[in-house]
């Protein structure tokens, strides 16, 4: 999901981030009314998708609803131009390779990929209720039971990815989509990386800086700290939990440099209950603080969900909310 600040794919130095703004020409043209999936081994007759409404735009991708004829089953079609600048080509290849191997109830299911009329189509599980970011914005923060519900789901997805040696590296509310039952589904594997596990869990260290500044862990900005790279996802979950509770990420600032400084110094404050009329429990503050520790001290997903924040408060079994809730005003304090 693209926010006002796009993913910093091309940032070379930390002092002068050059955020790459995608241009209209980078996006594919609107798709035809019917998209034909060519025949393949597991689908010898091919398939036809009837294109529905646009779901959103990313850096280089456009997403539309697609109805598979004749079942009318709905999917999300993520479309990119087949010809892209080589950097984006690479990013997209990684995304395809990694995402297609994921199978978890809290990760957007990847169904297939094919080419049609100079575009590449990814067929994905449809998440028709927007992202966690849309929901948190509309509701101006969630209740603690809701925060528990979504945090456990995202922690489960992180555990699954890490067990498979995958670091997502771009977890943020805009990349966590909501399915028809309002469950969280991690999407957008464009910046994910495969951990190369050698003797000492040696990891790929990319020279480029990626992610959105608000969610970037300080160790990404430093060199020479090895072995805990996957913990960047735990940092991001800490930021996501803070943002779900308060509706703002903890290090929010006007400049990227200032965000990084505040993150390095852990310079954040919980809003006071007088100004927000909202009570945030000590347990919530404690678990978030632990996730924003240095990488080697952050809890892993199993430890996170055993924290008193999760074990001593009410935990919904399912979202039990209708999509209508998204359009309702925030809860009464």
Cis preceding linkage at 70, omega within 30: yes
Planar angle of CA 180, 97, 210, nearest 5 degrees = 85
Q: Which of residues 293-322 bind ligand ADP (CB under 6 A)?
A: none
Active site residue 170: yes
Looking at 123-131, 147-155, 200-208, 269-277, which segment touches ligand ADP (CB under 6 A)?
123-131
Cα–Cα distance measured from residue 148 to residue 153, given in angstroms and rounded to the nearest whole number: 9
C-alpha distances (whole Å) from 229 to each of 175, 197, 303 are 20, 11, 18
Q: Which of residues 173-212 bind ligand ADP (CB under 6 A)?
A: 177, 187-188, 190
Per CB under 6 A, does 76 bind ligand ADP? yes
24 SS3 class? helix
Per CB under 6 A, does 63 bind ligand ADP? yes
* Residues near 120 by beta carbon (within 8 Å), at least 6 away in sequence: 79, 80, 81, 82, 92, 113, 114
Residue from 2, 20, 74, 164 touching ligand ADP (CB under 6 A): that is 2
Q: Which two tokens stand for residue 135?
A: 């929901």
Residue from 77, 123, 126, 234 touching ligand ADP (CB under 6 A): that is 126
Looking at 11-19, 36-44, 118-126, 155-163, which segment touches ligand ADP (CB under 6 A)?
118-126
Closest contact distance (angstroms) between CB of 260 and ligand ADP is 22
- Site pattern 226..265 for ligand ADP (x: CB under 6 A): ----------------------------------------
Q: Which residue, 150 or 310, is less far from ligand ADP as judged by CB?
A: 150
Q: Which helix (H) or strand (E) holds 309?
A: helix 308-311
Per CB under 6 A, does 64 bind ligand ADP? no
* Residues near 325 by beta carbon (within 8 Å), at least 6 away in sequence: 182
Per CB under 6 A, does 58 bind ligand ADP? yes
Query: In the Cβ-directed half-sphere of 10, how many Cα atoms lie within 13 Å?
Result: 11
Cα–Cα distance measured from residue 203 to residue 96, given in angstroms and rounded to the nearest whole number: 20
Per CB under 6 A, does 49 bind ligand ADP? no
Per CB under 6 A, does 60 bind ligand ADP? yes
Looking at 32-40, 55-63, 146-154, 161-169, which segment touches ligand ADP (CB under 6 A)?
55-63
- Active-site pick, 45, 134, 170, 294: 170
Per CB under 6 A, does 61 bind ligand ADP? yes
Q: Single out the residue of 259, 264, 252, 313 nearest to residue 284, CA to CA.
A: 313
Q: Are the C-beta atoms of residues 285 and 266 closer than 8 Å to each other?
A: no
Looking at 53-61, 257-265, 273-281, 304-312, which segment touches ligand ADP (CB under 6 A)?
53-61
Q: Which residue, 107 or 155, is less far from ligand ADP as judged by CB?
A: 107
Per CB under 6 A, does 147 bind ligand ADP? no
Cα–Cα distance measured from residue 6 to residue 59, given in angstroms and rounded to the nearest whole number: 7
Closest contact distance (angstroms) between CB of 264 and ligand ADP is 26
Closest contact distance (angstroms) between CB of 64 and ligand ADP is 9
Q: Are the C-beta atoms of residues 147 and 245 closer than 8 Å to each other?
A: yes
Residue from 107, 119, 127, 210 touching ligand ADP (CB under 6 A): that is 127
Cα–Cα distance measured from residue 126 to residue 147, given in angstroms and rounded to the nearest whole number: 23
Query: In the Cβ-directed half-sphere of 131, how many Cα atoms lie within 13 Å?
Result: 19
* Residues near 93 by beta carbon (within 8 Å), at least 6 away in sequence: none
Provide the annotated active-site residues.
170
**Which positions lie near ligand ADP, rule CB under 6 A?**
1-2, 55-61, 63, 76, 78, 108, 124-127, 177, 187-188, 190
């Amino acid at each position: 999901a693209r926010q006002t600040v796009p993913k910093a794919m091309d940032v070379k130095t930390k002092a002068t981030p050059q955020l790459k703004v995608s241009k209209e020409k980078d996006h594919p043209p609107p798709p035809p009314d019917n998209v034909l999936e060519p025949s393949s081994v597991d689908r010898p007759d091919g398939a036809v998708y009837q294109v529905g409404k646009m779901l959103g735009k990313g850096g280089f991708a456009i997403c539309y609803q697609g109805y598979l004829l004749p079942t009318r089953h709905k999917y999300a079609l993520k479309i990119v131009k087949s010809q892209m600048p080589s950097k984006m080509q690479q990013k997209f290849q990684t995304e395809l390779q990694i995402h297609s191997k994921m199978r978890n109830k809290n990760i957007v299911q990847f169904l297939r990929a094919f080419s049609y009329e100079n575009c590449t189509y990814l067929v994905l599980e449809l998440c028709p209720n927007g992202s966690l970011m849309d929901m948190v914005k509309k509701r101006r923060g969630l209740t603690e039971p809701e925060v528990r519900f979504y945090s456990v789901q995202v922690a489960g997805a992180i555990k699954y990815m890490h067990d498979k040696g995958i670091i997502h590296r771009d977890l943020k509310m805009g990349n966590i989509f909501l399915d028809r039952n309002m469950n969280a589904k991690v999407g957008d594997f464009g910046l994910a990386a495969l951990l190369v596990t050698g003797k000492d869990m040696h990891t790929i260290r990319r020279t480029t800086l990626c992610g959105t500044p608000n969610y970037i862990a300080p160790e990404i900005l430093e060199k020479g700290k090895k072995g805990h790279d996957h913990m960047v996802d735990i940092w991001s979950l800490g930021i996501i939990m803070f943002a779900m509770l308060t509706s703002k990420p903890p290090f929010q600032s006007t400049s990227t440099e200032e965000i990084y400084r505040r993150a390095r110094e852990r310079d954040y404050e919980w809003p006071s209950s007088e100004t927000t009329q909202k009570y945030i429990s000590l347990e919530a503050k404690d678990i978030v603080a632990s996730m924003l520790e240095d990488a080697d001290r952050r809890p892993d997903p199993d430890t996170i969900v055993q924290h008193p924040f999760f074990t001593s408060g009410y935990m919904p079994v399912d979202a039990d909310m209708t999509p209508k809730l998204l359009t309702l005003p925030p809860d009464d304090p």
